[in-house]
Amino acid sequence: GFSTTATVAASGIPPDQARLVGLSVTTTYLVAGGGTTLVAETTVTNGTQSRLHSNLTLGTYLQPGGSVNDVVVHYLRHGERSRARAHGTLWSTTEGWIAVASGNAGPALTIVSSDSHARMMCGDMGLLGVHPFISSEIDLVPGGTQTSTTYIAVARDLDEARAYRPLVGTALPMADA
């Protein structure tokens, strides 16, 4: 895997955004499951002098099989629901798991959040395909950190995509220091 870090520096920042100097976001990408699962672990560190209240959002466009044709989105909301692609914009709130499949056969792309309080939604953006996103609320005191983990997997089929549901609310194990 690899990591990338972005930190807000004082040089070149507009005066109205100076309060963000010291804010840092690090994302570590790991590949697991024989290359079928991407794990993105994101840590926000509040290096500013004031409390930080914001959102960290990961947005995706999924086109299983490289096409938006015959796409069905499956998600949890008081049980499993599914919806065929609709032309236009239609959003649904989910409970931590989304799978996007091409019809009822073939691979399914699934997204799971480790943050049990994250807001996950799947939007159908019509001609652009299904647009799942995860948004986690951030509320950090100066020096505080918050980490969330997102799993994005290519499952063989919808049944295998359902096997990722137990990861909802599960962070990666921490390595011993």
* 177 or 54, higher pLDDT: 54
* 127 or 113, higher pLDDT: 113
d(CA 92, CA 101): 16
Question: Residue 176: pLDDT band by 50, 70, 90 thresholds?
Answer: very low
| Contact by Cβ (8 Å): 108, 160 | yes
User: In 10 A of CB 54, how many CB atoms?
Assistant: 14
Q: Please give the model's pTM, rounded to 2 decimal places.
A: 0.79
DSSP 171: P
Residue 9 sits at φ, ψ, to 5 deg, of: -105, 160
pLDDT, tens digit, for every residue of 48-84? 999 999 888 888 877 777 777 778 888 888 888 888 7
Mean pLDDT rounded to a whole number for the chain: 82
d(CA 137, CA 21): 20
